[in-house]
Amino acid sequence: MPVRFARHSEVDVLIIGAGPAGLMCANALANARVNVRIVDQRAFKITAGYGDGISPRTIELLQSYGLAERLLKECSQIHLAAFYNPSSTGGIELTKRTSNITAPSARYPFEAALHQGAIQDIFLDSMSSLGVEVERSTMPTSIELSKNEDELTDPTSYPVRVVLQRLDQSEDEQEEIVHAKFVIGGDGAHSWTRKQFDITMDGEQSDAIWGVVDFVPDTDFPDIRNKCLAQSNYGSMFLLPREEDRVRAYVQLEDRDVINPVTGRVDKDRMGPEEILQTAQKSLKPYKLTRKSEFLWWTIYSVGQRVASKFSIKNRIFVAGDACHTHSPKAGKRPKFSPFPGLVTMELPGQGMNASINDSHNLAWKVAQVIRGWADMSLLSTYESERRKFALELIAFDKMWSTLVCEKPLTEQNSDGVSSEHVLKTFQTDFTSGIGIHYHPSVVVNDTYQELASGLVLGKRVPPYKFMRAADGRPFELQDLLPSDSLFKLLVFTGEFSDPLQQARVESMVADLQKPQSFLNRYATPGDSRFDVITISKDRKDKFDFLQLPTLLRSHWSKAFVDDTDPTGSFGGEGYSYFGVGSEGALVAVRPDGYVGAIAPLDRAEVLDAYFASFMKIPA
């Protein structure tokens, strides 16, 4: 009998699973010019169902990769939210109609609703343009991590061995052994990667059961194109507008309607999409709600909240997205059952797909820095410390929110019910918009000199604001000057450079930054800079000569800006005040993911030297 020989290969990063977390990570690493492969057991990409909501912060994040324009073109924008409670006649009535997003600093003050297949297509097309394709019908069958500490701590080594099986190949060509520097498991709530290392999922499952249907409605309900929570005497219901004329309905179900009394489990034969819609119709009375065409997708799930006990193994194997946190679709994701093969997770506008995408955004730049030899392996530990903390906060919020929407509403007959004011107050938080994400002090988040730029909060993303480009007066959104390109950005707030005393301070600061031991020179990589310097002066556009700035602060004519109104006088001119920066100026280091890492006075550049020394490596 002939002996089969498996093909061996090497790769910097192997990603298992082509869901939102995996695709986001593959796209980010491909953008960073990292050698990456991504495999998925499914033969085909998804085309319907699953998650469908992108939060304001995630839209900002996608904009930093140049991907937001297509999303905004294809999606349904959700600007308003409506709340309905029981009326005196037994139906429901409008209690409050309000802004869907209340975070004052949101650049995109709305949610973007689009089915997950279309969202993943945006990543797939971007990856394809960078030479990366999903290897489908491919599954891992074993994974081994070296126990050699020298190998584990050497970023140039390949300590992870993964055996891949190709389901669409002949028996002789099925097996491949991949030697990887890093492996990222984005393989969903039932993660194979997580299970191989006995990582537990800690949390609980509630008794609440929900049905979901996607369809094109025929209705007289006035808020069908707004996000809507209707708490009726028959149970709670969410309505979400979708792309084109579609809507998604989340409907609270009674146990007796879906649970098999013998097995105690959800029984798909007891309730289908038509029955879910009939339940929705009862909750929406006196309004009518029927469908114009066939159901596009449906599922049934139970509410649960769980977080992985760890997000990484030896900083070589990581889990992201559903693989490390699952929560309820009304603020996130995780169905218990889907009647369609392969459909095991879905989300609602909130935290599901968004948490997955943000996991990968946080992890990818750190992996890229290590692979390039720019950062120490210890940097990778901040992925778990930052994202697991966020996941735990998300679960705590989700439990509270799920409890509120599942309980009976306050009525004359039910004095112990949940008041609409309580629901509304819980709804209006920066947390669900993603704007409130706050990473605590670590090697990549300093904790000093916050008072120099109170509006640029250490550990939070840089808020949007428009400055004028000094060379031509063109307005630019600051966030667009902070693309996700693996570079740290140094924002230099010079103060009023035309003032001779302030000019002298700036020139002294530049002299410090040009010293050999300064981080700009200490970590200089020939032909491949790690930093991008952006200068923002508190001067007027009609008098400021940007060519008077030291060369370091204007490496290109497009890098110098002034805090002034736009040429029409319509906006701008309050950036220093908005960011809490005084006339003395400040140095602000922004991480490659757009979060503020460190702040220093102009005359204390050594603060930034110490910050970067805590994780950066001197080029070999």
For residues 114 and 348, give the distance between their C-alpha atoms in angstroms, rounded to a whole number: 10
The token pair at 75 is 């999606």
Cα separation of 152 and 315, whole Å?
Answer: 8
Residue 51 in contact with residue 75, Cβ under 8 Å? no
Which neighbouring-strand residues pair with 162? 143, 178
Buried b (16+ CB within 10 A) or exposed e, 461-470: bbbbbbbbbb
Q: Is 120 helix (H, G, I), strand (E, B) or coil?
A: helix
CA distance 620 to 606: 23
CA distances from 155 to 151, 182, 239 (A): 8, 9, 48
Q: Within a 13 Å sphere around the CA of 93, how many CA atoms are in the beta-carbon half?
A: 6
Residues annotated as part of the active site = 52, 242, 250, 329
User: Cβ(199)–Cβ(310) under 8 Å?
Assistant: yes
Question: C-alpha dihedral over 433, 438, 443, 445, to 10 degrees?
Answer: 100
Q: Are 29 and 372 in contact (CB under 8 A)?
A: no
State how far the alpha carbon of 205 is from the alpha carbons of 208, 265, 277, 304, in Å: 9, 13, 25, 4
Tokens linked to 538: 């508190």
Q: Are strands 531-537 and 560-562 parallel, antiparallel or unpaired?
A: parallel
Rounded Cα gap, residues 55 and 65, in angstroms: 16
Distance CA 494, CA 580 (A): 14
With beta carbons less than 8 A apart as the criterion, state whether 575 and 465 touch: yes
Cα dihedral 404, 405, 411, 414 in deg (nearest 10): -70
The amino acid at 587: L
Task: Please tell me whether residue 290 adopts helix, strand or coil conformation.
Answer: strand
Question: Crossing angle for the helix pair 116-129 and 20-31, nearest 10 degrees?
Answer: 20
Instruction: Report DSSP letters for 489-556, one per residue.
Output: EEEEEEE-TTSHHHHHHHHHHHHHHTSTTSHHHHT--TTS-SEEEEEEESS-TTT--GGGS-GGGGSS
* CA 619-531-358 angle, 5° bins: 105
